[in-house]
Structure 1
Amino acid sequence: MPPRRGRGTLPRPRLEQLIERIAECSLTVLKAPPGFGKSTLASTWAEAALARGARVAWLTLDEADASPERLLLYAAAAIQRGFDGGEEASLLNDLALIPAQHLATLLLNDLDRRQEHCYLFLDDYHCVPAETLIAAFDSLIRFAPDNLHLVFCGRSDLPSSLFAHTYSDALLEVDAGELRFDLDETRDLILRAGLEGIEPAELLDLHHATEGWIAALRASLLNLRQRPAGSPRLAKSITGLLDELLNRLPGELARQLPSLAAVDKFNAPLAEHLAGCTDGQGLIAELERLQLFITGLDQSAEWFSLHPLFREHLRRRLQPDELDRLRRMAAGWFALQRNWMDAVRSALAAGDTDSAREWIAHCAMGMVERGDFMILLDWQRQLQDRLLQCPLELKLALAWAAALAMSGESARQLITEARTELAQLGRDGEQDPLHWECQAIESMVLAIEDHGEAGGRMATNCLPHLIDRPWIYNTLLNVICYSHLCASRWEAFYAMQPNLKGPLEHGRYLFNQVYRLCLMGLGEMLQGRFSQATAIFEEGLRLAGEQGLGHPVLKALPSGFLAAVRYQQGKLDDAAKLSFENIEIVKLGGFLDCVAGLLVTSNRLSSRNAGPHSVRHFLEEGERLAQSRRWPRLHAHLLLERIRASLLEHKAAEALACAQQLDNLLEVQLRTSPEEADPFRLLACQGALWCEAAGLPRHADLEQAELLRGQAQRDNRRLVEIHLATGLALVQWRRNLHGDAVARLLDATQLVESSGARQLLTDLPAYQTLADIAAHALQTPGLNQQQQARLQRLLPDGDSRTQQPTLGQPAIALTSKERHVLELVAQGKSNKEMAKLLGIAPETIKSHMKNIFSKLQVDSRAQAAVAAKAAGLI
């Protein structure tokens, strides 16, 4: 939050009116040494921006913000708070599941969809290493939409690479020279302070001595108020001015002030604890009355800080041992309040790593359960070797955090270290709860890595031993539920007990609940019950929206599944909206089935926009993800989708190569994990059927395909059954087994009607052959009325939603100017920059963008760029 402006702040119109220029710039840099009023001026700009109807996000940085991940996490929370309100801690929890290197993209997409202008103030950027600033904010600055205005405030030069791609008229720099008080402002400041007896000569001397430095002027004014008549002139250095000021304060106040300087923030109870007084609120009120370099940190006037320049001066007056003692006192007080972040920070500042380790160990698992594991991992990076000998409970909490951050390798390393330590302590038996916690973490890692059966078996063994750990117990229930889903054990799947709901606070169950709903919805979807799946996913969205404070991952998981359902139902507009809004977040925080379904859906939506020849963008993204996550099943799904795309593009060699890769994946799976080979066998069989149906030299095993179809029927996997039945029909037709082909097509159309998954047939690479089979079947006697109606829909004059775009004829026709504009959008250019480059008015650019949005059926510049790239338009 912006700092509250202190009483008696002097209006400075020549600086305050710069908000007009800031509103036209994408980047503003406010740079000056300490004590020049940077934060005060920035907070004035923030108030002016709010008065203009804009949104304001504020983030004050410090030395602890030493990683791009931490910076972007806090920046994202600040922006979300600026738009939607809410508690800072909750917003951090909401965003913690997203790998921070992708937060910039998510922020840009979110801002691009909004109408309001947003001002993001980043105060004290000098506390952060230059390379960290570059890594965190380069993309945010380079691709900033027109409605984002970044204001950096600090003491040093901002790294030049951050504004290397910014046009001169989109950059505003304000330095110490502009911040210095001129003579008129110095006179106004003195008059406002009620010091009317200053002689003109002394005013001139004061202005020259302080050189318009605000901190020095304020110290001088405080001294002038207390100066006895006939006393010598004021000291001319800031150190001398501050010493003179402190020497003239009442003795008790002068004694209490340094204790407050030991901490970066304080409230009334902490002031009492540190200063040894009985009226902390009265002490703060006195500091405010004297305007003694005190700043409010929140709108409720609970937390305060001293100006950094004054705080550092007071710290220098303390002995090092005394400063450390006060910091340890503050750390202990914060710990009693369960304010672990400030407790750990104060302990580390005092060099008290033992207490820091103890407090991190005490709160670590609670942080994991609340979703604060990103902060926990950040503490781990800060402490490094000092956490090598951490308590076992902390080591396991760090393992949970690593697993949730999709770092299975790091989680396993920590589990191994914990097991070794348990063995050394003689505690590696099955009676020790930590033994079972190690097993529980490994079961979750196995499930995330798509070893559902192995993870489920391990979770089942752990479950009776961890019933007194509700969050872990719920996680194990979800792992077991996933294993039943993978094996089509539907009775066991539906017999799963519900998640526990006590005694933890409600927010610590939200992840478990939404993940369970996603698993239940996926089960309904695989069984071809799309209406039930839709209801479950919508309940997950409602729960995430009402109780998750807009948590992006919790909303994206059911949204991703819902996009796939809407697409298969033929509700393409709904599917496109859900897909574009959630694809990035699902790729970052989704489990394999959600990622695979949404990647395939996004590719097919792109294919409909610009013809199948353009379907490559999402496939390539998915391939990289499959490799980094070690998800061979995702690789197999994408290979099948590449076969489909290649057949539609008449690229026979690529289709055959992908089919061979599917066979190779199946062979590897049969050697390494035969119990998990069925999904690979199904996908390889389906790829072979498609290739032969298209006339490629690939002989499909119809006997195996029929066995797999029968197994899918027994397992009640209706979507798999539809795929295999249609593939069989196509190959049987090609082999002149017309009666068999008709029978299988009738099976498929009946399943499609019961599920509502009409798009499954439309998307087949040999869709026109289905029409031929249907036309032949309609000449066959003995069909009932329902069968005839189903087959009729496959004919060219049937329902328009079953028609496939003509190959090579893009459904989108952009003008050359619109394509040029789209290319510049993809480069991150603003409307102003594009207007200059193209030599046209900004209003014309807006008109082009409106046409582009309409043609691509998107809502924002970011969506337009993604859709255009995926569709091969740019």
Structure 2
Amino acid sequence: MKYMSLKYSIPKTKNELVLRKSLFKKLDEAVIAKLTTVVAPAGYGKTSLISSWANLNTKDNLCFKWISLDESDNEIHNFWNTFLNCLITEDKCSKAYKLSDNEQNLNFHYFITVASDYLAKSSDMRLVFILDDFHNITDSKIHKEFNTLIKYLPEKLHLIMISRERLPVSLSKYLINNEVLELDTEDLRFSVEETTSLFRRKSAINISDEDIKILRDNFDGWAAGMQIFILSNKDTNINSDSIREFTGQQRYIFNFFTEEVFEHLDEEIKSFLVKTSCLDVLNASLCDKAIGTNSSYKILEYLEQRNLFLFPLDDKNQWYKYHCLFKDFLNRQLNKHSEQCIKEIYYHAAIWYEESSYYTEAVSYYSKAEKYKEIVAILDNEGLNMLKRGNTSVLRRCLRSIPENISRENASVCIYYAWLSLLNSELNQVNRYLDYGKASLSRSNNDNYEGIEAQISTITIITDYLKGNINKNMEELKSSMELLQEFPQMYCIVALNLGGSYMAKGDINSGEYWFYETLNASKEIDSFYTAIIALRSMSTCKFLKGEIKELEELYTDCLKYCKTAKVEYSPIIGLLYVGIADINFRKNNLESCENYLETALELGEAANINEILYDGYLLMSKLLVCKKDYKKAIKMINKAKYISKKDKLFIRVIEPVETWEINLLLNVNDLSSVDQWERDNSVVLENDINMLNLAIYRTLSNIYIKKGLSIKSINTLSKIVSYSENNSLEGVAFEAYVKRALEYYKIEKLSEAFSDMESVAALLLKSENFRVVFEHDKELLDLLNMMKISTDNFPLDFLVNRLKIRTLKSSEELLSERETEVLNLVKLGYTNTEIGERLFISTGTVKRHIINIYSKLDVHTRTQAVLKASELNIL
């Protein structure tokens, strides 16, 4: 068994174990709740209870996962890394490490995602996640996230927390709702019956029921104390007097270890026990190295055969640990040795771990031995690999084990700190560590001088860039990308920001190039977060260029990638759903748009992901405008504005929420607010059009159209057409051509109107990407009919179809197929719940369909809807 898998192994159940059936029953009943807590001092059988229950459980629908938490898990990234690696099954172990090594994924959201995927494989399976020794976790950040995890725990996942100390979990709400089982010292105390069973299994000595009751009362049901009493009297006659003299106080337990166990061992065994007591786990090879012997295998075998408080951790009996009370006793003996002697044991244990490539454990023991040069040597050999793999939690623990005064004197250590600070956007810290690194480099002869210099230069450029010095550093940043390819995680982040910067400058093609780079590089390292952000950013380029079909294919591929990577339930997937909803909106598939959008917003709101919420609220407002629900649309706009003020993204510069708000106000004829915005922004028309003011130009053209200012609107639209054609923004040009054609038609400039519509037709024949929906169907149809009369072989039907012009308002096409199905069931008198059951959809979806029906038919009740639909021959 590999060393790391010991953390995830359920301890073996011994044959002589007392089966605690009443507690087993409570545990069986609790698995449908959120949480079980088992809190009691050492020796009360917490781990034995839960491990035996898990090992002996015969229910096929329960899947048990076990973590033995230790001090190395008391760091937030490593904590969630441990969780994820435990959860993933063996056949996906390598994929799990690749995913979990990416530090930005390490949080409770991602754990919920992976757990949900795990549970989705079986409809009736329940996952029982057991956390032993939770008292080792003292980090307040972990406590905070863990409380949130419990709040959003998947329905079929049950947590069991085992601890010697009070848990940092707020339980009152869950207790009220019967969502938690609490087991404490009182529950874990052995009853008289269990004490009797213990004696019968552990000892052949006859003892009266009365004496058993006295013994149980003296020890207050403390299992460890009673077992030690049995061991201490296995060769003597037990009577009532000896029972009364032996109390349950722990000082007597230590006396027992001294007098009844330790003093009867030979010196070699004593020395072995004491010296190896400072090791967390034991195996023969490790012990040989740590204490300088070659007899560890023989001694471990002897200790196990004699049942001397040594427990196997695996089926092959290669790894062991001491009973916690015995280990405490041995540690007291170890403290009698010199500090230097103890450090030597730590040092040689560290060497064994390093030679076995367990770098985290090696660093831990080197730190205890105060051998900091050896830690630096590990970093020199492995630090870059940790950084390249994105395994930053391990790198951080290595760095933190080195005292600050030593860290400052080592250039490579300072550079690693700078990289980590950069990844966490702690830009002030970056400069501090760079200064330390430069100073150290100038004072020492470092074999990797040029490599460190190159890293310092790259980090400096990136930091300046992220601080806003875009124009100054973009070319320098591009030149450093070759070096950054050695650091895939950082390469993705920088490439994504480069794309955004080019977009902000109006260079849409360069922006799109770097988004592609980010997308592909992110997939290579399974950084699905940056992959999705890159794709959503690329959407802006594609929409502006009118390349909707190609964009749709990219989203489909990315969704497949996320499913392959087993992350399709992650909250950030909501950003993919926003993109797919946006595509459906532009294709006038409003029902599909709404379905995807609702899913996206649920994910975004649950995880509080601003990227999802901003885009989702903005798109929802547009959808509500199509339904003429302007009041709700304005609410969505306000939500998007709030997020925009908190968190600025380049997309919001190119498609700012304020311009869409003005377009919304035009729909509700709130011209006073529109007039003020027009006065504030019309000065833009004096400047050349560019990517940053394109949204303002487009909004001003809409204002002029609404106000009937055809000449002004035509002039503005002409600038938009010219800019779009020069920059290959065919999506923008397509929309501007249609609007300008309608404006020409209004002022009876038919040749110009016809010319614009011919440009529209050419674009439609060139590509299937253009799916723009226009409000003025009647005017557009009139214009096309006039063109047909005036033009030979004019493709009227083609344009009507491709422009999605609604010519049959009273036909069955008014309602979607699903809405017609719902309305037919309404006519038959079915309730919303019954309709949902018949159509296999949720009641909420039924309600949404009915609201859509009311909006499309302009009615307010079920009866009115049925009558109106009958009149229109829909039913």
Distance in 2 (alpha carbons) for counterparts of 1:698 and 1:260: 89
The verdict on how the C-alpha distance between 1:84 and 1:607 changes in structure 2, with shifts beyond 3 A counting, is: farther
The verdict on how the C-alpha distance between 1:599 and 1:786 changes in structure 2, with shifts beyond 3 A counting, is: farther
Which residue number in structure 1 is paired with residue 180 of structure 2? 171
Partner SS for 2:289 = helix
Partner SS for 1:172 = strand
Letter paired with 1:461 = S
Match of 2:479 among 458, 461, 467: 461
8 Å contact kept, 2:572–2:604: no
TM-score (norm 1): 0.74
Distance in 1 (alpha carbons) for counterparts of 2:298 and 2:812: 73
Partner SS for 1:161 = coil
Distance in 2 (alpha carbons) for counterparts of 1:617 and 1:103: 30
Letter paired with 1:707 = K
The verdict on how the C-alpha distance between 1:567 and 1:492 changes in structure 2, with shifts beyond 3 A counting, is: closer
Instruction: State the structure with bigger RCO (CA 8 A, min sep 6), 1 or 2.
Output: 1
Cα distance, 1:318 vs structure 2? 0.7
Which residue number in structure 2 is paired with residue 19 of structure 1? 27
1:423-482 Cα offsets, whole Å, 9 max, x none, are 855999x99443432443455567778987766412333356678778877887777777
1:240 aligns to 2:259 (yes or no): no
Distance in 1 (alpha carbons) for counterparts of 2:635 and 2:49: 46
1:393 aligns to 2:399 (yes or no): no
Distance in 2 (alpha carbons) for counterparts of 1:802 and 1:751: 27
Counterpart mapping for 1:687-698 below 5 A: 687-695=699-707
Counterpart mapping for 1:720-869 below 5 A: 720-726=732-738, 728=740, 740=752, 743-744=755-756, 747-748=759-760, 751=763, 756-757=768-769, 761-762=772-773, 767-780=774-787, 781-782=790-791, 784-786=793-795, 788-791=797-800, 793-797=803-807, 850-852=842-844, 855=847
Cα distance, 1:90 vs structure 2? 0.9
Which residue number in structure 2 is paired with residue 686 of structure 1? 698
1:187-245 Cα offsets, whole Å, 9 max, x none, are 32233235345566765564344332222233334444577999988964222233333
The verdict on how the C-alpha distance between 1:172 and 1:803 changes in structure 2, with shifts beyond 3 A counting, is: same
Distance in 2 (alpha carbons) for counterparts of 1:10 and 1:609: 67
Partner SS for 2:795 = helix
Match of 1:344 among 360, 363, 374: 363
The verdict on how the C-alpha distance between 1:264 and 1:791 changes in structure 2, with shifts beyond 3 A counting, is: same
Distance in 2 (alpha carbons) for counterparts of 1:569 and 1:136: 41
8 Å contact kept, 1:335–1:343: yes
Which residue number in structure 1 is paired with residue 271 of structure 2? 255
Partner SS for 1:33 = coil
Match of 1:217 among 209, 226, 229: 226
Which residue number in structure 1 is paired with residue 42 of structure 2? 34
The structure number with the bigger radius of gyration is 2
Letter paired with 2:158 = H
Match of 2:349 among 323, 330, 336: 330
The verdict on how the C-alpha distance between 1:851 and 1:543 changes in structure 2, with shifts beyond 3 A counting, is: closer
Cα distance, 1:31 vs structure 2? 1.4
The verdict on how the C-alpha distance between 1:584 and 1:733 changes in structure 2, with shifts beyond 3 A counting, is: farther
Letter paired with 1:241 = F
Higher mean C-alpha displacement, 56-65 vs 474-483? 474-483
Which residue number in structure 1 is paired with residue 216 of structure 2? 207
Distance in 1 (alpha carbons) for counterparts of 2:267 and 2:13: 24
1:465-508 Cα offsets, whole Å, 9 max, x none, are 67877887788777777777776575998799999999xx9859
Partner SS for 1:25 = coil
Counterpart mapping for 1:115-514 below 5 A: 115=123, 116-129=125-138, 131-132=140-141, 134-144=143-153, 146-159=155-168, 161-164=170-173, 166-167=175-176, 169-193=178-202, 195-196=204-205, 203=212, 206-225=215-234, 236=247, 237-243=252-258, 244-249=260-265, 251-278=267-294, 283-295=299-311, 303-319=319-335, 321=339, 322-350=341-369, 355-356=374-375, 359-360=378-379, 362-377=381-396, 385=404, 389=408, 391-405=410-424, 407=425, 409-410=427-428, 412-413=430-431, 416-417=434-435, 420-421=438-439, 424=442, 432-441=450-459, 456-463=474-481, 488=507
1:363-416 Cα offsets, whole Å, 9 max, x none, are 3432232222245456667879568616333333344334444x2635753575
Unaligned runs of 5+ in 1: 806-810, 816-820, 823-843, 858-874
The verdict on how the C-alpha distance between 1:591 and 1:155 changes in structure 2, with shifts beyond 3 A counting, is: closer
The verdict on how the C-alpha distance between 1:515 and 1:169 changes in structure 2, with shifts beyond 3 A counting, is: closer
8 Å contact kept, 2:392–2:420: yes
Letter paired with 1:457 = E
Partner SS for 2:41 = coil
Distance in 2 (alpha carbons) for counterparts of 1:689 and 1:357: 63
Letter paired with 2:178 = D
The verdict on how the C-alpha distance between 1:72 and 1:656 changes in structure 2, with shifts beyond 3 A counting, is: farther
Partner SS for 1:330 = helix
Unaligned runs of 5+ in 2: 1-7, 817-821, 827-831, 850-875
Which residue number in structure 1 is paired with residue 724 of structure 2? 712
1:53 aligns to 2:61 (yes or no): yes
8 Å contact kept, 2:115–2:154: yes
Equivalences, count? 806
Counterpart mapping for 1:73-84 below 5 A: 74-75=82-83, 78=86, 80-81=87-88
Identity fraction in percent: 15
Cα distance, 1:594 vs structure 2? 9.1
The verdict on how the C-alpha distance between 1:750 and 1:203 changes in structure 2, with shifts beyond 3 A counting, is: farther
Cα distance, 1:164 vs structure 2? 3.6
Higher mean C-alpha displacement, 107-116 vs 526-535? 107-116
Distance in 2 (alpha carbons) for counterparts of 1:311 and 1:663: 79
8 Å contact kept, 2:545–2:730: yes
The verdict on how the C-alpha distance between 1:384 and 1:738 changes in structure 2, with shifts beyond 3 A counting, is: farther
Letter paired with 1:328 = Y
Partner SS for 1:265 = coil
Distance in 1 (alpha carbons) for counterparts of 2:149 and 2:515: 45
Partner SS for 1:169 = coil
8 Å contact kept, 2:40–2:185: yes
Higher mean C-alpha displacement, 596-605 vs 533-542? 596-605
Distance in 2 (alpha carbons) for counterparts of 1:277 and 1:315: 20
Distance in 1 (alpha carbons) for counterparts of 2:132 and 2:679: 56
8 Å contact kept, 2:710–2:743: no
Cα distance, 1:614 vs structure 2? 2.7
8 Å contact kept, 1:125–1:152: yes
8 Å contact kept, 2:379–2:413: yes
Distance in 2 (alpha carbons) for counterparts of 1:616 and 1:16: 56
1:718-746 Cα offsets, whole Å, 9 max, x none, are 33334544555566667776665565466
RMSD: 5.6
Distance in 1 (alpha carbons) for counterparts of 2:534 and 2:308: 55
Distance in 2 (alpha carbons) for counterparts of 1:109 and 1:657: 50
Distance in 2 (alpha carbons) for counterparts of 1:610 and 1:110: 38
